[in-house]
Amino acid sequence: MGWFKSRKSGHNLNNTDGSPSVGSCDCCGVNLDRTQGYYVATTDIVMSEPFWRNHIEPLKIMADMVGTPRGNAAGLDEQAAFHTLLTSVAGNEAPWLICEKCSAFFDFERDEARSYAVRGVSPRKSGPVNPNECAVVAGAAWEYIFGHRPSSPQTLAGPTGSTSRCDSCSAPLDRAQGYYLATADVVVSEAYWRLYATKIRAHMMEDDAEWDEHMQLLMFARMLQHVASSRTPWLICEDCSEFFLIKRDEARSHAVSEVSPPKCGPVDPSECVQVAAKAWEHVFGRWPASAEQPEVVDSCDLCAKKIYRRETAGSVGRARFEEFRASGIIDSAPLSPPRPGDKWLLCQICLKRMIARIQRAGLSTPVAEES
């Protein structure tokens, strides 16, 4: 998808001097040696209705899931989702590296495309296309999947006290009792992504569907892009607020006065792909091949979560730990005896929960951050 491409900026283009040919399919994200794939120009990509259907279907699945990604109250902003999809695909300058499996979606000269890929050379007709040129075929695919053209967003829930819901867990929520977060605050939370991936998985089970790796990668890519492209503030309930590191008073006052947080707006999906991948691995049992996997360096003493290289973690000394256990700020026993220095290591999920509870209790934060 578009974000795979923007992340990689064009597969060692014009670079035939023996540089690594390893990349990933720009359609499904699977790891792929360039010489085993095809270089396809954007103009050939955008004319494929099966391609669009294949990428719109995950959106429909998400729209059908109660409360995802932005809660029932807001619904799926179909026009915005359609526009994002259309422009991110059409705007690609560089050729698309396409795997054998995905190549079935497209009509192109295979020998030529293979030879471009092998040599790492752009097809002559590469370059962005005008989104208007493919709006018809993409719109037809949308209609096929959704049963109607991309429609306007449903009206947001009314004033305070009406039917607002938490944008994370979809529990009914009075706006004045919630917190307003920016997308940038949300996407860094592994706990949030876990909740979302769990809903996707539940939906898959409900449908009795067995998703192969290809479909899982498509769903992962859509989940990522859909959440990252959210423009409006997220309304978050008290329980879910434990997923995030936030300035609680500020976030509450934004919710009460219905004002967007300062850094509100979409984020670059490549900035949060690893956090989302960690959650995806936890829920689906498989690391999405489209994301780079860092090395596991440790595990959480409270929940056993894998801690990857450069991931935030923090330690809590025995005295504090016991104090927090007694007051309920930490609500489970450690899985192992303390480490050297008489302390336990907590992952970012456990850490954020603990800090949220400390803030609520009006205490100061005693954590030594490590990474």
Residue 332 is given by DSSP the state S
Residue 28 or 45: the one with the smaller Cβ distance to Zn ion is: 28
Shortest Cβ 168–Zn ion spacing (Å): 4
Shortest Cβ 54–Zn ion spacing (Å): 10
Residue 26 or 77: the one with the smaller Cβ distance to Zn ion is: 26
21: which 2 tokens?
């040919």
Residue 146 or 344: the one with the smaller Cβ distance to Zn ion is: 344
Shortest Cβ 149–Zn ion spacing (Å): 28
Using CA atoms, how far residue 319 sits from 344, 353, 366, in Å, is 11, 19, 11
Residue 5 or 305: the one with the smaller Cβ distance to Zn ion is: 305
Residue 150 or 187: the one with the smaller Cβ distance to Zn ion is: 187
Interatomic CA distance for residues 232 and 294, integer angstroms: 31
Q: How many C-beta atoms lie closer than 10 Å to residue 210's C-beta?
A: 8
Using CA atoms, how far residue 296 sits from 21, 61, 111, 307, 370, in Å, is 26, 32, 41, 6, 15
Interatomic CA distance for residues 129 and 45, integer angstroms: 10
Number of residues that make up the chain: 371
Report helix, strand and coil shares of the chain as percent, to nearest 5.
45, 10, 45
Cα distance between the two ends of the chain:
31
Residue 27 or 129: the one with the smaller Cβ distance to Zn ion is: 27
Shortest Cβ 147–Zn ion spacing (Å): 27
Shortest Cβ 30–Zn ion spacing (Å): 5
Residue 335 or 361: the one with the smaller Cβ distance to Zn ion is: 335
Phi/psi zone of residue 328: left (φ > 0), alpha (ψ -120 to 50 degrees), beta?
left
Name the H helices within the chain.
Answer: 2-8, 42-45, 49-64, 71-74, 78-90, 100-103, 110-119, 131-146, 183-186, 190-206, 213-228, 248-257, 273-284, 318-327, 348-360
Shortest Cβ 166–Zn ion spacing (Å): 3
Shortest Cβ 99–Zn ion spacing (Å): 3
Residue 27 or 134: the one with the smaller Cβ distance to Zn ion is: 27
Shortest Cβ 238–Zn ion spacing (Å): 8
- Answer yes or no: are the C-beta atoms of 199 and 139 closer than 8 Å: no
Residues forming the site for Zn ion (CB under 5 A): 25, 27-28, 99, 102, 166, 168-169, 237, 240, 300, 302-303, 305, 347, 350
